Amino acid sequence: METSLSRRTALRAAGATVLAAGLSGGPTGTAAHADDAKSPPKLVTYPRPTSMPTNTSFKVRVRTARGGEWQTLDVYRPQLEEINATTGSGKVYNSSMVYFDFRGAVEIEVTNLKGGTTKARVRPDVLGIKPEVGGDTLVFTLDEPRDVVVQINDEIFGCLHVITNHVEQHPCSADDPDVIYFGPGVHTVTGNVLTVPSGKTVYLAGGAVLQAQVFFKNVEKSALRGHGMINGGAGAILCEGSRNIRVEDVIIMNPNGYAGTFGMSENVHVTKARAFSSKGNGDGFDVFSSTEIVFDGCFMRNSDDCFAIYCHRWDYYGDTRDITIQNCTLWADVAHPINVGTHGNTDAPETLENLVIRNIDVLDHREPQMNYQGCIALNPGDSNLIKNVRIEDVRIEDFRWGQVIYMKVMFNPKYNTSVGRGIQDVYVKNLSYTGTHASPSLFLGYDADHAIDNVVFENLVINGVAIADSMKKPSWYYTTDAIQWFYNEHVTNLKFLTTAEAEAAAAS
């Protein structure tokens, strides 16, 4: 190693919910940080290695609230992509990111060095953060670690990403024989692939940058953690045939491929990982033929799907089940924030089941191709069957181009050798969209034998209006007409309920 280095619906949907029982209610509400309120405020910052590119659009300072000493943060340069809908070419933009750890509360001061500030916004909107703006400088407070985006003058790419962690209570030691330790600075390894043995933890200390892929191959009880980052590499994390794997807190910057691939693996927890990408096929985290995979508290800004959940592809075979995506913030500059079902095995059909998507903020979605739209897309092909999906507490802010939700049993000749078998038993609760750019959401069964059955929306809210079959509307209107959504004749048992109606149905 080198160191240059209905009731029926409710019951079936509950099958997916069981998997998430016992997990944290939010990315920062864990028992591990219960003592923070009793401890004195603390702020930990990390210098950027001089060889890492920076951006000069912002000056950023931070201090503990109520009069701490200001500290200037080093700015990193994540790169992001936008597709030209006319030519299909991609343009890469330089953006900005800072990160630090804290306990207590902090004030963050951002100065727009380009000037001309007329308005500022801190996202996700659900946090309700209203910055104080004076000239080209704004100030806001975080009372606990959050990942936020500061947009000035509605800049899409020239914005600032602020990544924050709790102060580490039990950092790894460089002397621990079970730890592969990387301290502050830039590190490489021979062959640009770090293969992790069973029982070992790769630790990236704050300020560390590892320029290599971290590879879990047929191992168990291994981990990648720390407040450092992985930069570049042909896919930052690759996990194959492994079980009981943990990934915590790391930042993934500008990978040449997926930020993470999880194939034929079991019991993998990815907690508070962050990923930025700009390359073609720059997915965030992709799952193939795996079980018991949990993504919790991740911030994803990607140039393709932020999360993609599949069955067979390449050398991965088998069903995919018990997958949870929760407490995440998603921004897809290309394709879907969440995509499910494209790849499978026509010769030996597979099933994707028990999927939980909950407490999600979607900040953006931009995709010109209609087959690849949908902030959440359930699109089984290759004889896949998708069943038992629970989607709950999803807030979608206005996005640039696409659909709120897209369900299609498809045969996509580019990727599929057969049509998907169908979509069954999807329960969507407390989904909201606020905005004006969404195209109609589509629900499309392929034919009577490859259909969509039993999809229930409870408390769907579009621009502040609750959508239900019982809402006041002309008797000849479908409920979907009221919001300009569409479903075809191969969709059965599609219902839109108020919460009271759903509770009454569950009790009957």
Q: In angstroms, rounded to a whole number, what is the distance separating the alpha carbons of residues 198 and 155?
A: 44
Per-residue confidence (pLDDT) for residue 233, from 0 to 100: 77
Q: Which residues of 414-430 are buried (b: 16+ CB within 10 A; e: fewer)?
A: ebbebbbbbbbbbbbbb
Is the same domain home to 161 and 268?
no
Query: Which of 110, 137, 166 represents a domain boundary (last residue)?
Result: 166
Determine whether 453 is exposed, middle or buried from the number of CB atoms within 10 Å of its CB (0-12, 13-18, 19+): middle
**Token pair listed for 198:** 């069973």
- Residue 42 inside a domain? The answer is yes
- Residue 59 inside a domain? The answer is yes
Is the same domain home to 337 and 461?
yes
Q: Are residues 36 and 104 in contact, defined by beta-carbon separation less than 8 angstroms?
A: yes
Angle 253-258-259 (CA atoms, 0-180°, nearest 5)? 40
Give the residue among 217, 178, 222 at the shortest CA–CA distance from 198: 222
User: Tens of pLDDT along 115-168?
Assistant: 999 999 999 999 999 999 999 999 999 999 999 999 999 999 999 999 999 999
pTM assigned to the model: 0.94
Is the same domain home to 283 and 394?
yes
Q: In angstroms, rounded to a whole number, what is the distance separating the alpha carbons of residues 128 and 105?
A: 16
Q: In angstroms, rounded to a whole number, what is the distance separating the alpha carbons of residues 118 and 421?
A: 52
Into how many domains does the chain fold?
2
Give the residue among 24, 329, 338 at the shortest CA–CA distance from 162: 329
Is the same domain home to 283 and 426?
yes
Beta bridge partners of 456: 427, 495
* More confident position, 15 or 97: 97
CATH of the domain at 86: 2.60.350.10
- Residue 373 inside a domain? The answer is yes
Per-residue confidence (pLDDT) for residue 22, from 0 to 100: 38
Q: Which residues of 156-189 are buried (b: 16+ CB within 10 A; e: fewer)?
A: ebbbbbbbbbbbeeeebeeeeeebbbbebbbbbb
Is the same domain home to 156 and 281?
no
User: Tens of pLDDT along 203-225?
Assistant: 999 999 999 999 999 999 999 99
Pairing verdict, β 291-296 and 307-310: unpaired
Is the same domain home to 268 and 153?
no
Residue 12 predicted with pLDDT over 60: no
Q: In angstroms, rounded to a whole number, what is the distance separating the alpha carbons of residues 8 and 158?
A: 48
Per-residue confidence (pLDDT) for residue 494, from 0 to 100: 98
What's the average model confidence in pLDDT over 99-123? Answer: 98
- Residue 6 inside a domain? The answer is no
Residue 11 predicted with pLDDT over 70: no
The chain-wide mean pLDDT, for the chain, equals: 93
Helix (H/G/I), strand (E/B), else coil: 495: strand
Is the same domain home to 267 and 382?
yes
Q: What percent of the chain has pLDDT over 70?
A: 93
Residue 286 predicted with pLDDT over 80: yes
Q: What percent of the chain has pLDDT over 90?
A: 90
What's the average model confidence in pLDDT over 311-324? Answer: 98
Sign of the alpha-carbon torsion through 177, 178, 184, 189: positive
Residue 484 predicted with pLDDT over 70: yes
Is the same domain home to 154 and 273?
no
Is the same domain home to 278 and 386?
yes
Residue 9 predicted with pLDDT over 80: no
User: Tens of pLDDT along 330-355?
Assistant: 999 999 999 999 999 999 999 999 99
Per-residue confidence (pLDDT) for residue 460, from 0 to 100: 98
Q: In angstroms, rounded to a whole number, what is the distance separating the alpha carbons of residues 480 and 190?
A: 57
Contacts of 281 (CB under 8 A, 6+ apart): 257, 258, 304
- Residue 226 inside a domain? The answer is no
Is the same domain home to 268 and 408?
yes
Give the residue among 147, 79, 157, 78 at the shortest CA–CA distance from 108: 147
Strand-by-strand arrangement of the 106-112 sheet: 71-72, 58-64, 106-112, 137-142, 132-134
- Residue 242 inside a domain? The answer is no
Is the same domain home to 149 and 48?
yes
Query: Which of 166, 188, 218 represents a domain boundary (last residue)?
Result: 166
Q: In angstroms, rounded to a whole number, what is the distance separating the alpha carbons of residues 302 and 282?
A: 6
**Token pair listed for 250:** 């790391």
- Residue 114 inside a domain? The answer is yes
Could you tell me the residue range of the domain that residue 459 belongs to? 257-507
Query: Which of 146, 166, 186 represents a domain boundary (last residue)?
Result: 166
Is the same domain home to 433 and 318?
yes
What DSSP string describes 398-438? --SBEESEEEE----TTT-SSB--EEEEEEEEEEEE--S-E
- Residue 19 inside a domain? The answer is no
